[in-house]
Amino acid sequence: MKPVIVIVLAVAVAAGAAVFLSRQPDRPSETNAAPLTADIKSGGHFRGPENAQVTLVEFGDYQCPSCGAYHPFVKEILNRYPQQVRLEFHHFPLISIHPNSMAASKAAEAAGEQGHYWEMHDALFEYQTQWSDKPDPKPVFAAIANRIGINGTILVQTMDSPRFQERILKDVEQGDRAKIQAVPTFFINGQQVHILLSMEDFVRVIEANLHK
Amino acid sequence: MKLRPMLIALLAFIGMIDALYLSIKRNSGPIPCHITRGCTDVLTSKYSEVAGVPLSWFGLAFYVTVFSLAVFTIFEEPGRPASPAKSAVSVIFYLSGAGLIISALLVGIQAFILKAYCEYCLLSAALVLSIFLLSPHPVRHTHPE
């Protein structure tokens, strides 16, 4: 009987330890970025009122699963605080581990040229699993574009334009200057904010900055 | 002193915490890396589950089994012939051998396909390797009664 008691106790202790560790706040050293300087605060794509009290700056990668996981929360924040929060998105494709991320950023830019950047931005995250592992994601980008009501053929034909790459690389350069090493990285008022993947934490951070 | 089964039990206990932690964190957002980069990429990749079951659950089952077998070996009465503990030693050896092959495959996927490393998965691979090295070879350690 003794061994069974030891096993049951050990499993219970291991479960307790795992729950305890999983509830510790995540403060990974790899996401410590430098404060944003004035020149980095410009650029990017904006969503929300210009005079919003809080500008949430996101450096993201369309192929990054974490960015995809955070995306619904960012959208919900913009829905909950339509007058108070503005999103500023910067491309930061980690091409060494996400080979389709640059192409996705270009697709978003190409959609932007047709006046639908944010629709494509949302769709790229929402349908991330459909294109992220494809050797050639362009047909999926075209299909996504058609689904959101823009011309997929034109999007694919124009997405390799050097001006899109130039814009994306400008964002990457800004991210490098901010010493960003992981995505998504968020900033509010120039300072990096660590937000857990929960609506409660997002609301907590936004509310704290609204009442500053 | 039954040092080997005690060490195996200790390693399996650490493995249980590791696997349980990953099982919990996998469903609650990005998994923070402190040493490597790309924990979330690894743990949300298509290689992180089999038929919809996260690999960490298989890992948990492995560690609980190894821990249980090691505990039974520790509590074995000395000199008792044909005890279940003797076969337990064989099971740990073959189980950890299979685990080692799977771990090597998963480390290979991290290195060559995902090009991202998850420190918790690497810890698990190291634990499996240590358990395999500590588990006595059943043929070498079987003496005629």
**pLDDT band of A28, cuts 50, 70, 90:** very low
Residue B46: which of A27, A30, A133 has the nearest Cβ? A133
pLDDT(B29) > 70? no
For residue B44, the chain A residue with the least C-alpha distance is A65
In this complex, do A97 and B20 lie within 8 Å of one another by their Cβ atoms?
no
The DSSP call for residue A30 is: G
Q: What ipTM does the predicted assembly reach?
A: 0.83
Lowest mean pLDDT: which of A26-40, A84-98, A126-140, A181-195?
A26-40
CATH class of the structural domain A30-210: alpha beta
Residue ranges covered by each domain of chain A: 30-210
In this complex, do B33 and A30 lie within 8 Å of one another by their Cβ atoms?
yes
For residue A18, give the nearest of B67, B47, B8, B57 by alpha carbon: B57
The CA–CA distances, whole Å, from A35 to A77, A184, A210, B32, B58 equal 23, 15, 19, 21, 42
Q: Check CB contact of B29 with chain A, cutoff 8 Å.
A: yes
CA angle at A201 for the pair A198 and A206, rounded to the nearest 5°: 125
Higher pLDDT, B45 or B82: B45
For residue A20, the chain B residue with the least C-alpha distance is B21
In this complex, do A69 and B34 lie within 8 Å of one another by their Cβ atoms?
no
For residue A124, give the nearest of A115, A112, A132, A135 by alpha carbon: A132
Residue A19: which of B13, B24, B41 has the nearest Cβ? B24
In this complex, do A69 and B33 lie within 8 Å of one another by their Cβ atoms?
no
The CA–CA distances, whole Å, from B99 to A30, A175, B108, B111 equal 30, 41, 14, 18
Instruction: Give Cα A180 distance to the centre of its chain.
Output: 13
Lowest mean pLDDT: which of B73-82, B116-125, B130-139?
B73-82
Identify the pLDDT of residue A145: 95
- What is the Cα–Cα distance from A159 to A113, expressed in whole angstroms? 10
Say how many C-beta atoms besides its own lie within 10 A of residue A108's C-beta. Answer: 28
Say how many C-beta atoms besides its own lie within 10 A of residue B142's C-beta. Answer: 12
Q: Check CB contact of B25 with chain A, cutoff 8 Å.
A: yes
Identify the pLDDT of residue A34: 67
Whether the Cβ atoms of residue B57 and residue B144 lie closer than 8 Å to each other? no
Higher pLDDT, B128 or A194: B128
Which chain B residues contact residue A70 at CB under 8 A?
30
Can you identify the CATH homologous superfamily of domain B3-134?
VKOR domain (1.20.1440.130)
Name residues 80-139 of chain A within 8 A of B (Cβ).
96-98, 133
Instruction: Give Cα A17 distance to the centre of its chain.
Output: 31
User: What pLDDT digit, counting tens, does each position of B78-101 carry?
Assistant: 666 555 556 777 889 999 999 999
**pLDDT band of A33, cuts 50, 70, 90:** low
What is the average pLDDT score of chain B? 84
**pLDDT band of A130, cuts 50, 70, 90:** very high
For residue B95, give the nearest of B65, B52, B56, B58 by alpha carbon: B65
Angle, helices A101-113/A117-126, rounded to nearest 10 degrees? 150
**pLDDT band of A42, cuts 50, 70, 90:** low
- What is the Cα–Cα distance from A171 to A173, expressed in whole angstroms? 5
